[in-house]
Structure 1
Amino acid sequence: MSMKHFGIASCVLLLLTACGTTSNAPEPNSLPVVAQKAATSVRWSSSIGGSTDYRFRPAIGRDTIAVAGAPNQLALLDKASGQARWTVTLDRPIAGGVGLDDKLVVVGTLKGEVIAFSHTGQQLWTARATSEVIAPPAVGNGLVLVRSVDGRISAFSTEDGALKWFYQRQQPGLLLRNFAAPLISDGVAYVGLPAGRMVALNMADGRVRWDAPIALPRGVSELERVTDIVATPVVANGNVCAVAFQGRVACVDAQSGTLLWTREASSWSGLTMDEQGVYLTDDKGAVVALDRTTGRNLWRQDKLAFRALSAPAITGPYLLVADFEGYLHWLNREDGAFVAQRPTDGARVVVPPQPLADDLVLVQTAKGGLYAYGVK
């Protein structure tokens, strides 16, 4: 893969307007040699579609997994075995990945279409967003939330696709393409926005519960002032945390939006957290652990620098990150030390690995490879 796909601010994540050259992008670190201290195994593997630059994140249900593959493949898999319950070939390309609840499978397209299928593979309804959909829909509370490129969040009824409400605010002149879905939790949608803002929206009516500044734009040029949240926030134990590109990582109170702590950081990959820590991948390829209650630095693992890492995922006592060559790296959550490493199909893993169980995660590569990995 060429360096244009994983440099730093100059073109990472495809700025919507003019990008400069990336010929001076740093060379990625060599693959570290890792002593296999944890036992990893592929529980099952599958594939869907072909190569893509879009971020097709699998959607995990109670006993099913919805997956999208380039250019127009959609499938519902059995969670335990990876076997396809059904596969559909759409008559238009998918761009926005896939959303899932116990009744619907939903995808978005470059034409702004939102298409809902039943769990038997029957197309139920089609709705239309105001512009192209490149983020996966989020489904919950009887609504499908769709983020379109013009910055609008549209809420469609799960029953018939009728528009129930929308949210939109003015966007800065220069921003990053945002592949992040809203996060739905306890009747609230948490949405990361350009210019370092995060909002909490009431799912019933779209009302803004709070609007919090995660990061503030800085610098002289428009490029330097790009401070967008381009990864889905995470919520746990009454806190919501998010990280901005060229900005900060911060945690706020989920009820009030009160800022609990902030720390300088820059990430386009995203973060995860548990009861002790907040774990993020920064824009230079370091994996960083921070104390969840204070933001204090716990450890930093930088041996994967500039390998275009995914956001981390928690699996058992470990963190799992993936890189631009499709390698998976398991790290000890206590100190960031490497405990295992495995290849996939050689294609970049852009979206975070998705937890299937305490010790099992699902990885989807840019070639459409699907791997359920267990670790002990």
Structure 2
Amino acid sequence: MMAGVKRGACIAWAATIAVASLVACSADKPKPAPLPTIESPIAGRQVWEARVGGVNFPLAVAVLNGRFHLAGDDGTVVALDVATGRELWRGEVGAKLSAGVGSDGRYAAVVTRANELVVLDGGNVVWRQKLESPVVTAPLVAGERVFVLGVDRVVNAFDVLDGRRLWTLKRPGDALTLSQAGMLAPYKDTLLVGQGSRLVGLDPLKGTVRWDTALTTPRGTNEVERLADLVGPPSRTGSVFCMRSFQNAVGCIDAERGSLKWVQNTGGIEPVGGNEEYVFSADSSDRISARKRASGELAWSTEVLLNRGLSAPAALGTAVVFGDLDGQLHFLSQAEGKPVLRLPTDGSRVAAAPVISDNTLLIVTRKGGVFAFRPE
């Protein structure tokens, strides 16, 4: 058993020549902490609701130009208006998905379980491209290109108009890799890619390396314990990207210089969230911490939501929001970590990192429920 893995999880892996997949399966789970009493509540409400097929893959919700782009297991891809939830378009890929959605506001990209990259324009499939390895990280669509990070850490770039492969980057790495959404993000004219525990800045036109910075040094006595892949999506403020190294650490890297700002050792598997002041995260037991973004110094921690299967967090107004295994949304004070609001969804686990646009918080659940909330 990997040291520090979420209690109640068992680990299985299957090695191939290039890649191994690590997945967690349920076993005897510790009892979730009882829901706390909220003494000084704030106001918030659900403003609209929609639905996609069930979501049992690492969904990323793309937000751009007042639109949420999301997808369901069955290959349905939709664009929804942020303000009203009105469906702007709906497309059908025709196959079950393993990763998505990436979008530049016009084109949307997903990957099927058959390792096929599919790009849509306004709900219409415009091209498909077969990939050499499985993908669980949502493609990135930017600069008239589609960037794809495989579980083997190979990066491919395609022309968004016709699907032509532009370049491929393969770097030496460990045989065992993490089957969980990794780090793939843009910064100005640099493509940021997670390669194990390292963040790499690439030239997006050529696929060449500009800088390479380790967030942490993997620890452990075997390959499983040394897994320390960067987990996405990151939390960005300006040029600083903060992220988690799987079961190892939380830290921040300045993408302008490719330099490490700070790192703190801590367990956990979900992405971090934050704002200009704090970086929020939950560890393997769902102990929540807030660290000062500038230094990594601990501001507060709380065990009020232990073992509740927390999602990645999102900072909204004066609160930080986590979803849980029952679809409950927990709003905690950013300053102290005290619960200030609780809102329900459909009773199923929150399936994607919460996203925010124009003060609207979007939550997607395993059952395919899509819920938009706003503070009052």
TM-score, length basis structure 1 = 0.91
Of stretches 83-92 and 345-354 in structure 1, the one that deviates more from structure 2 is 83-92
Written as runs of structure 1 = structure 2, the 5 A alignment for 1:121-200 is: 121-180=123-182, 182-194=184-196, 196-200=197-201
Give the corresponding residue for 2:82.
79
Please state how far the C-alpha of 1:265 moved relative to its aligned partner.
1.4
Please state how far the C-alpha of 1:246 moved relative to its aligned partner.
2.3
Percent sequence identity over aligned pairs: 29
Give the corresponding residue for 2:303.
302
Q: Which runs of 5+ in 1 are unaligned?
A: none
Contact 1:155 1:166 in 2 (8 A): yes
Q: 2:65 aligns with which of 62, 65, 73?
A: 62
Q: 1:106 aligns with which of 109, 112, 126?
A: 109
Task: Check if 1:225 corresponds to 2:226.
Answer: yes
Please state how far the C-alpha of 1:22 moved relative to its aligned partner.
5.7
Please state how far the C-alpha of 1:48 moved relative to its aligned partner.
0.6
Q: 1:38 aligns with which of 29, 35, 42?
A: 42
Give the corresponding residue for 2:289.
288
SS in 2 for 1:203: coil
SS in 1 for 2:230: coil
Contact 1:6 1:12 in 2 (8 A): no
Q: 2:52 aligns with which of 48, 52, 59?
A: 48
SS in 2 for 1:183: strand
Aligned equivalents of 2:321 and 2:299: distance in 1? 17
Aligned equivalents of 1:257 and 1:86: distance in 2? 39
Written as runs of structure 1 = structure 2, the 5 A alignment for 1:305-324 is: 305-324=306-325
Please state how far the C-alpha of 1:270 moved relative to its aligned partner.
1.0
Aligned equivalents of 1:88 and 1:79: distance in 2? 18
Aligned equivalents of 2:152 and 2:21: distance in 1? 13
Task: Check if 1:363 corresponds to 2:363.
Answer: yes
Of stretches 79-88 and 12-21 in structure 1, the one that deviates more from structure 2 is 12-21
Please state how far the C-alpha of 1:24 moved relative to its aligned partner.
4.9
Contact 1:136 1:181 in 2 (8 A): no
SS in 2 for 1:251: strand
Which one has a larger percent strand, Structure 1 or Structure 2? 2
TM-score, length basis structure 2 = 0.91
Aligned equivalents of 1:13 and 1:372: distance in 2? 37
Please state how far the C-alpha of 1:295 moved relative to its aligned partner.
0.9
Aligned equivalents of 1:138 and 1:192: distance in 2? 13
Contact 2:10 2:27 in 1 (8 A): no
Give the corresponding residue for 1:27.
31
Structure 1 residues 254, 173: CA separation in 2 closer, same or farther (over 3 Å shift)? same
Give the corresponding residue for 1:374.
374
Contact 1:245 1:265 in 2 (8 A): no
2:11 maps to amino acid: C
C-alpha RMSD over aligned residues: 2.4
Structure 1 residues 201, 336: CA separation in 2 closer, same or farther (over 3 Å shift)? same
Q: Which runs of 5+ in 2 are unaligned?
A: none
Equivalent pairs counted in the alignment come to 368
SS in 1 for 2:232: coil
Please state how far the C-alpha of 1:229 moved relative to its aligned partner.
1.6
Aligned equivalents of 1:126 and 1:37: distance in 2? 49
Aligned equivalents of 1:87 and 1:73: distance in 2? 7
Per-residue CA deviations over 1:95-117 (Å, capped at 9, x if unaligned) read 21211113211111112211111
Please state how far the C-alpha of 1:77 moved relative to its aligned partner.
1.7
Please state how far the C-alpha of 1:290 moved relative to its aligned partner.
0.7
Aligned equivalents of 2:323 and 2:253: distance in 1? 28
SS in 1 for 2:272: strand
Of stretches 18-27 and 123-132 in structure 1, the one that deviates more from structure 2 is 18-27
